[in-house]
Structure 1
Amino acid sequence: MAAFEKLLSPITIGSHTLPNRVILPSMGSNLADGQGNVTPAMLAYYRARAAGRPGLLVVEAACVHHSGKVIDRNFMAHDDALIPGMAKLAAAVKEQGSLPILQLIHGGRNAHPRLVGEAMAPSALRGPTSHATPRAMTVIEIEAMIQAFARAAWRAMEAGFEGVEIHGGHEYLVHEFITPYANKRQDAYGGDLKRRARFAVEVIQAVRRAAGPQALISFRLSGDDHVAGGMGPEEAAATAKLLVPAGVDLISVTGGVYETPSMVVPPVPVPPGVHVAAARRVRQAVEVPVAGVGRIRNAPEAEAALEGLDMVAVGRAFVADPQWLNQAAQGGGGGVRPCIGCNQGCIDKVLFGAPISCVSNPWVGLEVQAEQLKPATKPITAVVVGGGLSGAEAATTLGRLGHRVVLFEAEEELGGQVRLACLPPGKQEFRGMIDFYRQALSELPNVEVRLGTKATVGAVCKINPQAVVVAAGSEPILPDLPGAGDAPLVTARQVLSGEVEVGYKVAVMGGGNLGSEVAHYLATRGHDVCIIELGLGIGNDLGPARRYHMRRELAKYKVRRYIRAKVRRLFENKVSFLHTRPDGSRQLTYVEPVDTFVSALGAKPNEKLFLALEPKVNAIFLVGDAMSPAGLGQAAAEGLRAALEINRLAEEGALDAPPKGPAC
């Protein structure tokens, strides 16, 4: 208790006393159905998070009106028919010991026109995500929307939620009224701060009347828009002073708008607690509890953030491992799957319509299966080749189910490509995934890890496994270009691993995730770097927040970027490429001098061992980069799927037959 004394201490908010100072904030899951109803997957997902015992659990943003949908499977609270499903969700959270409130939202100009038709907003300003211009709301529409928030709050209370949170940040409708960046009205709902805040004040008042005096009402406030013409910390504090008398019990301070996505959901390497300072400024202005947020990853960071604040909101850490808080309360902390701040599964995929997932924890979104899974009754012997994310997850899952596992890893350390992924600036915390698997595997007596041991057909067959998972990774691609044989050409992996010396002037071929990161890595070490990319932009395979941050970093370090550029030839000290201009005209361009060429053009699967073993083994699975190089996004998930399929086959007795091929 002493280590996290404030974090684990109770707090009273309104008429509710919470056992600790931790909030699980609203995070969209895309687990609702197409009509916005609760699904079994959504119930299981929230049961798992609530079992982690956050004092306050804010269920993901529920749209108060059909015109406010942002994503395909937005949770909805706009119709009485949704109350039974909402009630199941509230009950599921309460059963695990957390206090549930429901976040209410309208997307405003960021509602997707494909889902809602013409969007509505305070002013007719083009939406940064919808790329459409909304209709400026009339006063009658404003009054109707206030009542939509009130009716949604009433539904939440009818369903058994203990309160609601009004989303007043991130450039959604309520925030669009408050911030001068999005509100250009000159009537009673625009102009000075008091008039811009009027919509929010009237929403709070209506919600309080509908929800009742005992309801916990939270307001998510933008403490800093981080955009020119937006709201800063001082105006946020002044806004909070206007909102509290309307009926707010708690203010949760966030930041950023869609034009500054790395502030909305801060990715690695944005520092932890990025919005805490703004929250402290708000706390100085009001007498109600205030919560801070912003890439807070663990209990020590959460405890530190509480200085000058009352509560701390921790989102992605609860996605990666719902048990992190329980572990901290019990004096542990080891064995927790870390949030690495990549945003790939929890943010990027959700924004593009897929269910929530997690690079670090492949069980996210599969909580129904996790609840139904039981220890193996027919344990078998399995071999896993490769100790990267895919192989380590396969071995961990099989081991935890009770199967005997032998894991071969050619290097002296687990991790595979993660060992390189954690080398670029700000990505050191990716190593947390290696630490997790190292500890998890060391705790399984039925799993043997053979480090520094290359798997061969003979070595695998000697174990006589009933199933094999090949996660042998991939090999980088070197371009087949004229002059490549005589040029100082190396791969991005060689650069990051320190295998090669790199000259001062560097040309990186390929401007995706890998190329951007190796260019950034070299630029921060004083090299003069350019990127040559065939596509239309740099970092286009990154999600919005990481792409925005990476492009800013490359500009900061003066990395020259050539897009729509096809490399034609390498020379000893220069490169030629065909550059297509925006008007469609083309020009043969040279960059010189170049001391080192770096290939970041992808990789090819290493499937040789799989092909050799396939005729000899009853059940064999190719996963990760060995199947199709695709980065870290699906690596652990593919290892998990292979392990679950092996377990299913074993339980059905399908792996009892002798090997199908000749003896090794």
Structure 2
Amino acid sequence: MLFKEFEAKNNIFMAPIKTALATPKNGLITEQLINYYERKALGGVGTVILEPISVSLSGKEHPKQLMLNSEKHEIKLKELITKLHKYGTKIVVHLNHAGRAANPKIVEDVVAPSPIKCPTTNQLPRELSKSEIRDIINDFKNAALRAQSAGADAIEIQFGHGYLVQQFYSNRLNKRTDEYGENKFLFAEQLLSSIKNSVTIPIFLRISGSEFIDDGISLKDISSIIDLAKKYDVSIIHVGWGNACDSVPWYYNHMSLPIEPMDEILKLIKNMTNIPIISAGRMQKNERYKYLLEKHVIDGVVFGRQLIIDPDFPNKILNHSNDYIRCGSCLQGCLSSVKSGKPINCIANPEVHKTFIPKTNDKKKIAIVGGGPAGIFAGLYLKKKGYDITLFEKNNYLGGQWVMAYNAPGKLSMKDILDDLIRKAEKELKIIKNTTVDDKFFDDKDFDAIVIATGANPFVPSIKGLKKYITGFDFFSGKKVNGNKILVIGGGLIGVEVTEALVNNGKNVTIVELFDEIGRGMELISKKLFSLKYLSKIKVYTNSSVEEIKENNEVFINRNGKIESIGNFDEIIVTAGTKSENSLYNTLSKKIKNVYLVGDALKVGQIFDAVNGALELAEKI
């Protein structure tokens, strides 16, 4: 596949996603990072755009970000490139300086074109001097030279997403009065010219198709970038979305955001230029990439998180197979892990940076009770190990609490993961539904081990006068909510999701939460979106507990030691958490050997915990 001087084995690219797999502080490539990218090459991706490399210490976004400022860095990069070239995979080195988006916890002196605060970090940067601008351009050039020397097939320069280059050409962020303010594209041109005159390998530019904010970059700005791209013979323009400071949900392409605006902007950009266009942003959703390629809106497709959940996705779609797991764009395993300083992960693929144990010749018969995430994944991993698996599920469907997860507002994409997972399970496992298992069920059956994955039940606190209520489980299972004035007891993840749905249906909602904030357990961007959209529309009592419910559902709360009435309510929904359902385990384990607990039945947690627990259990049995 030829892209204007850049040739790859196919038109599938991997996006530059931060992994937190490099060494702390100095940002060296590790063996773990090499293995991570090798797995992507094995899966068939034509081109890997390496995760962002910070060209300067002042431009780093996280402690384990890659650097390329020494011979040692170059040697490790060469090792990675050599390994991936064995698979026919091309490597593009992505260079960036975060500017005002730099992490103030690791960058003492955050700099930018002008001193305008980044809302994400709440950091006010210092204005760059002209000599510092020249130094940063030189840092970009030197990193590009090292990348070329290490064997990189191309260089990608970050020209968008609210980072330094875009900060210079943004009228909103560049308030300088010198030549860099008079000509806001001067820095971009000097940078591009410096790199173009230093290396002979192709150059990509990564831009934001839109920031989706007021006074954000315009199509006129993009046209100016395209003019520069033509002038300096850029090989590919890579279109992403949002920016890292002002429109973070778009930057990470959160699952709740619409797809149509991106497609319309891509069509406009494609009509501006003959330079090949590649683009990222939930391309797997409804096979969106097929439409965009067939209509020649893009020339290549960029997958990011999709290659985290299923690194074999390129080979599968190239061979017209649907035996894949689609990403739901939840950000719970990938972004949340890296933000917390942990290596990148995925709620539905615990093998992101580890390899499952090899297949065994021991043909054990394993029974699994419960068809939620923990049960399904335990079954699939034990089957992968070579065992004979039978899964018993009391309902006429699989999925457990995951079914409720995608019923929450803006989370329908989570159904994609579950649908694919169920399809895989039904293909590989023996599944018996509509079957209730009790302590006598296995008396006449011969299994070598029994895995109990019975999940959790709603926890209902002991509250004086609490008689008529529904739980969050009831709500997402379709139980009707009567009246308009609704009390939600518990403001954790489920409570917030119930509140979103109620407000969307015009209900008047009050949350009473025991702790000092609502939304515990929520992924950070989802939590931010909830705050922006819903907090002004609801009443919230934190550090409070429901003390008593009197006649006509008048509710009294204990707020910081003071009892007060918060009025009467038409309906009460209890979302005060869950408790493990392990009664079957407690009975069976007393009379049968080799009985195991997994998932919420072992310890209440997130889907991520259940899936990782299933892998660990499969390795153990």
Q: What residue number does 1:425 align with?
A: 409
Amino acid in structure 2 at the alignment position of 1:418: W
Q: What residue number does 1:315 align with?
A: 304
Contact in 2 for aligned 1:205/1:247 (Cα 8 Å)? no
Change (3 A) 1:298 1:268: closer
| Runs of 4+ in structure 1 over 6 Å off | none
Q: What residue number does 2:266 align with?
A: 279
Q: What residue number does 2:619 align with?
A: 644
Instruction: Give 1:342's match in structure 2, choosing from 316, 330, 335.
Output: 330
Contact in 2 for aligned 1:175/1:222 (Cα 8 Å)? no
Q: What residue number does 1:148 align with?
A: 139
Give matches, 1:488-499, under 5 Å.
488-499=468-479
Query: In structure 1, what is the Cα distance between the partners aligned to 2:529 and 2:169?
Result: 26
Quick check: 1:190 aligned with 2:181?
yes
Instruction: Give 1:228's match in structure 2, choosing from 178, 196, 214.
Output: 214
Instruction: Give 2:436's match in structure 1, choosing from 450, 454, 468.
Output: 454
Instruction: Give 2:58's match in structure 1, choosing from 44, 58, 67.
Output: 67
Q: What residue number does 1:567 align with?
A: 546
| SS of corresponding position for 1:611 | helix
Note the alpha carbon deviations across 1:35-77, whole angstroms, 9 max, x for none. 3222222122212222333333201111112222211211221
Quick check: 1:330 aligned with 2:319?
yes
Quick check: 1:388 aligned with 2:358?
no
Query: In structure 1, what is the Cα distance between the partners aligned to 2:15 and 2:620?
Result: 34
Instruction: Give 1:21's match in structure 2, choosing from 11, 19, 25.
Output: 11
Query: In structure 1, what is the Cα distance between the partners aligned to 2:443 and 2:5?
Result: 65
Amino acid in structure 1 at the alignment position of 2:324: V
Instruction: Give 1:351's match in structure 2, choosing from 326, 332, 339.
Output: 339
Query: In structure 1, what is the Cα distance between the partners aligned to 2:559 and 2:112?
Result: 41
Query: In structure 2, what is the Cα distance between the partners aligned to 1:315 and 1:423?
Result: 25
Query: In structure 1, what is the Cα distance between the partners aligned to 2:557 and 2:177?
Result: 53
Quick check: 1:33 aligned with 2:19?
no
Deviation at 1:464, TM superposition (A): 4.1
| SS of corresponding position for 2:333 | helix
The count of residues paired between Structure 1 and Structure 2 equals 616
| SS of corresponding position for 1:597 | strand
Instruction: Give 1:137's match in structure 2, choosing from 120, 125, 128.
Output: 128
Instruction: Give 1:113's match in structure 2, choosing from 99, 104, 114.
Output: 104
Q: What residue number does 1:255 align with?
A: 241
Amino acid in structure 1 at the alignment position of 2:157: I
Give the unaligned 5+ runs of structure 2. Answer: none
Q: What residue number does 1:162 align with?
A: 153
Give matches, 1:256-655, under 5 Å.
256-257=242-243, 258-272=245-259, 274-298=261-285, 300-306=287-293, 307=295, 308-333=297-322, 335-366=323-354, 369-370=355-356, 373-444=357-428, 447-460=429-442, 462-485=444-467, 488-554=468-534, 558-571=537-550, 572-577=552-557, 590-646=565-621
Note the alpha carbon deviations across 1:508-542, whole angstroms, 9 max, x for none. 12223211211122233343333333444443532
Query: In structure 1, what is the Cα distance between the partners aligned to 2:520 and 2:222?
Result: 33
Quick check: 1:94 aligned with 2:76?
no
Note the alpha carbon deviations across 1:213-265, whole angstroms, 9 max, x for none. xx121111122222233323343333332344234221112221233211111
Query: In structure 2, what is the Cα distance between the partners aligned to 1:197 and 1:534?
Result: 52
| SS of corresponding position for 1:428 | coil
Deviation at 1:301, TM superposition (A): 0.7
Change (3 A) 1:41 1:131: same
Query: In structure 1, what is the Cα distance between the partners aligned to 2:67 and 2:446?
Result: 53
| SS of corresponding position for 2:143 | helix
Instruction: Give 1:122's match in structure 2, choosing from 113, 125, 134.
Output: 113
Change (3 A) 1:273 1:254: farther
> Higher mean Cα deviation, 496-505 or 64-73?
496-505
Instruction: Give 2:192's match in structure 1, choosing from 194, 204, 229.
Output: 204
Contact in 2 for aligned 1:273/1:305 (Cα 8 Å)? no
Deviation at 1:268, TM superposition (A): 1.7
| SS of corresponding position for 2:148 | helix
> Higher mean Cα deviation, 627-636 or 156-165?
627-636
Amino acid in structure 2 at the alignment position of 1:190: G
| TM-score calculated relative to the size of structure 2 | 0.93
Amino acid in structure 2 at the alignment position of 1:313: V
Note the alpha carbon deviations across 1:354-389, whole angstroms, 9 max, x for none. 1111112222122xx24xx42212232222221111
Change (3 A) 1:536 1:311: farther
> How well do the aligned residues superpose, as a CA RMSD in angstroms?
2.4
Change (3 A) 1:443 1:541: closer
Deviation at 1:615, TM superposition (A): 4.2
Amino acid in structure 2 at the alignment position of 1:339: C
Query: In structure 2, what is the Cα distance between the partners aligned to 1:17 and 1:273?
Result: 30
Q: What residue number does 2:232 align with?
A: 246
| SS of corresponding position for 1:123 | coil
| SS of corresponding position for 2:225 | helix
> Higher mean Cα deviation, 269-278 or 336-345?
269-278
Q: What residue number does 1:652 align with?
A: none
| TM-score calculated relative to the size of structure 1 | 0.87
Note the alpha carbon deviations across 1:369-427, whole angstroms, 9 max, x for none. 24xx4221223222222111111001011112211222222212111101111212332
| SS of corresponding position for 1:155 | helix
> Higher mean Cα deviation, 411-420 or 29-38?
29-38
